[in-house]
Amino acid sequence: MADPSNETMAKNKNQQTFQTQATQHTDEEALHIAKATQTPGQTKEQTKLIAKGIAKGVAHYKKQEKVKQRERSKQQRKSKRATEIDTHEKPGDLVSKPEAETFRGKFPLRIAASLFGLAGLLHLVRYFCNTSIIIDSFTIPVNWSLPAAIVTLALSAWLFRHS
């Protein structure tokens, strides 16, 4: 099995090689431009300095373009997200649904919420009245009713909120 660190190093080396080649190409182009615009009496050292300045300017321009491209990409993603949010239906937005469809979706939830609420209230009554329930020969402890009431009332509230 290949060592992941070796793969990473190879990737970095390839990237560095590409960057080095790109830099060399830019330097060659800059030197070519500097020689093409050379004035009479200009020394080779001066031409090389001009070529370095051109290469530096090109690198600076490329860096600025990368920043601008990132900003454009961010703006495109933001606008894309905004249009997706606008086109998708929001959970609480019932304006776009037909009346019958919203009634069909809400009615079962409200019935279930009502049943959970009733069960929760019955558990509370049992807890406070200290009423015992015996099934076959097993007596259900009264202190089980308080947690059962909390859970069923919470479910009821949650279902009412979503209906």
The helix/strand/coil state of 93 is coil
- Would you say residue 1 has pLDDT above 70? no
Q: Which residues of 104-128 are buried (b: 16+ CB within 10 A; e: fewer)?
A: eeeeeeeeebeebbebbeebbebbe
Determine the pLDDT at residue 58: 86
Q: What is the structure's pLDDT at 123?
A: 92
Residue type, 109: L
pLDDT of residue 51: 86
Q: In the chain, where are the structural domains located?
A: 8-87, 99-162
d(CA 157, CA 121) in angstroms, rounded, equals 12
pLDDT of residue 82: 80
Q: Which of 20-24, 76-80, 118-122, 137-141 has the lowest mean pLDDT?
A: 20-24
What would the pLDDT profile of 137-162 be if each residue is shown by its tens digit?
899 898 999 999 999 999 999 998 88
12 versus 32: which is more confidently predicted? 32
Residue 136 in tokens:
């076959």
What is the predicted pLDDT for the residue at 2?
A: 52
Cα 41 to Cα 26: distance, rounded to the nearest angstrom = 25
- Residue 158 is predicted with a pLDDT of 92
Q: How far is CA 41 from CA 4, 44, 47, 48, 128, in A?
A: 56, 10, 11, 14, 107
Q: Flag whether pLDDT at 136 surpasses 70.
A: yes
How far is 41 from 29, CA to CA, in rounded Å?
22
Output the pLDDT for position 85: 73
Q: What is the mean pLDDT of the chain?
A: 81
pLDDT: which is higher, 151 or 17 = 151
DSSP state string for 37-75? TPPTT--HHHHHHHHHHHHHHHHHHHHHHHHHHHHHHHH
Q: Which helix (H) or strand (E) holds 133?
A: strand 133-135
Per residue in 69-91, pLDDT tens? Answer: 999 999 988 888 887 776 665 55
pTM, whole model, 2 decimals? 0.38
